[in-house]
Structure 1
Amino acid sequence: MENDTGRVTEFVLLGFPIGRKEEILLSAVLLAMYILTLAGNLAILAIVPTSRQLHTPMYYFLCNVSVLDIFFTSVIIPQFISNLLSGDKTISFAGCITQCYFYFFLGTVEFFVFTSMSYDRYAAICTPLHYHTLMNGWVCTHMVLGCWLGGFLSVLFPTILISRLPYCRSNVIDHFFCDSGPLLELSCSDTRMIELMDFLLSSVVILCSLVLTIISYAYIISTILCIPTSTGRRKAFNTCSSHLTIISILCGITIFIYVKPSQKGTLGLQKIPAVLTAIVCPFLNPFIFTLRNDTVKGALKQCFVQLKDVVVHRVLQCQRGSVAVRKALHGKF
């Protein structure tokens, strides 16, 4: 649809070419994954502040990852589920640009935070005597603020340029959310400068994060191999394996999608990889970071024990109160 000035006022998100029954089934799966993603990340945000053994820089960064995953999935999944269930696959122009901006903003911040986590692991394993000096509260706070500010500024200007493009070819986006590549495909103006800018920004963010992480883990692995006991080596590897697994998956998929001069020739191949980065990875993050971490599992068990004690105490209080009320009533009558 276009308004009086010829500007597109809404887009149509085609999503996946599946039947109505499959759309309902997919929406149910997405809803379940969304609820589990929220529950897992909210559990981390609840456990870390209440468990003294988790008051370390690593879990401070992990809390930021959980916040990012909650926002990231909330930008994509509710709109996708709404489109699947209602059959109305339209999204307003403002909503589309907003979704595009927050998708790249939050994704960029997550890469920066994961890179900061790799430096934290390097400092903890390679320079343990200086760890608390290198990663004190002031440093961690400013690192996280730098991640959020860097993500906000790096994505802002390209998104403004995309929002000012004329869209006269069509308003149908062959994707399940408003990605930059499909949007640029619909514009009737020359988008080569924006495509080049996207390519350079993606390359800097993703490849620099990958290179810095590889350098950090090269030092980490060489240090771990020098640990004399197998128990010490296993413990050191366990603290890093979750982070390394997630960032390897993210970098591999995003390099395939975005680190190329133009995405127009491969738009049809990007939907499944985009599902992995936008939906599956945020869903897996809390489970990978908790199920493979003995410290978090111990803190989680402790929280359940404390919760059980609180519930039992409340139940006993209610029982005593009801007994007292019955005795009072019996005394009156």
Structure 2
Amino acid sequence: MSSTPSPSFHPKSYAAVPARHVAFLGLGVMGYPMAAHLAAAGHRVTVYNRSAAKAAAWLQEFGTAGGHASAPTPREAAAGADIVFCCVGNDDDLRSVVLGDAGALAGMKPGAVFVDHTTASAEVARELAAAASAKGLHFIDAPVSGGQAGAQNGLLTVMCGGDAAVFAQVEPTIGAFARAVTLLGDSGAGQLAKMVNQICIAGLVQGLSEAIAFGQRAGLDMEKVLDVIGKGAAQSWQMDNRGKTMVAGRFDFGFAVDWMRKDLGLVLDEAKRNGARLPVTALVDQFYADVQQAGGARWDTSSLITRLK
């Protein structure tokens, strides 16, 4: 491993678990440090990324001494791996790395497990679980919460769906980049739980935006106000981690508005299927559309407050 720590990866104390041969598909802002934590925990990691340069950069940073390697296709990356991890953009991206002659399922050894950390639909999770089962393989849908900082620090919350016995096989390895890993039900349950998470966040950020904008209009020192109310019932992760940057008007970091709109689209599509009523979530989704139109597609989700200025 490089002697200079990566700004995108902060090593932590790792639980002692058996070393596994794993693959990681997708080295974006989440996948890059997640794969790094697996390597630092003693696992042998083969990486794949659609842009080969990113895979080469990862390998240069974390070295080949531990048996780490890169591969030109998902199928070749998955060959021989006990667990294949994945974190890509959406349902279509996921299908492109899982299915087909060059996809991971075509290269996985019998009994291996595909663990998908993409925030995707419950429908695609069930589809790919069935495709894996037909080949004598296993699939766990495992979307994450905690954002880029959680990935860098190895402190993600992982929500899983799938078979309990298969989950038990992979849970210790997932712990390399997580602080909480929970099985919530059958295939698709992890994705549904992530939708619940995003519904909560959408409402919280809008409420926080309105509160800060109100306080500023009232002439309050909002940094002091947040310090005070953050010790009471109004406290939340969003307030602790985004409140003061919202006051300062800083949004050039974090979880992008484009990604949140993708996630809320999944939520609203699922609500149409199951009959759930989500009036506030639908409204906040449109507020995020306003932010996109104002040029904030890559701003952090806390940029909702810009609509109120």
TM-score by length of 1: 0.28
Specify the structure having the higher radius of gyration (Cα).
Answer: 1
TM-score by length of 2: 0.29
Which is strand-richer, 1 or 2? 2
Q: Per chain length, whose mean CA-contact separation is higher, i.e. which structure has more relative contact order (CA < 8 Å, sep 6+)? A: 1
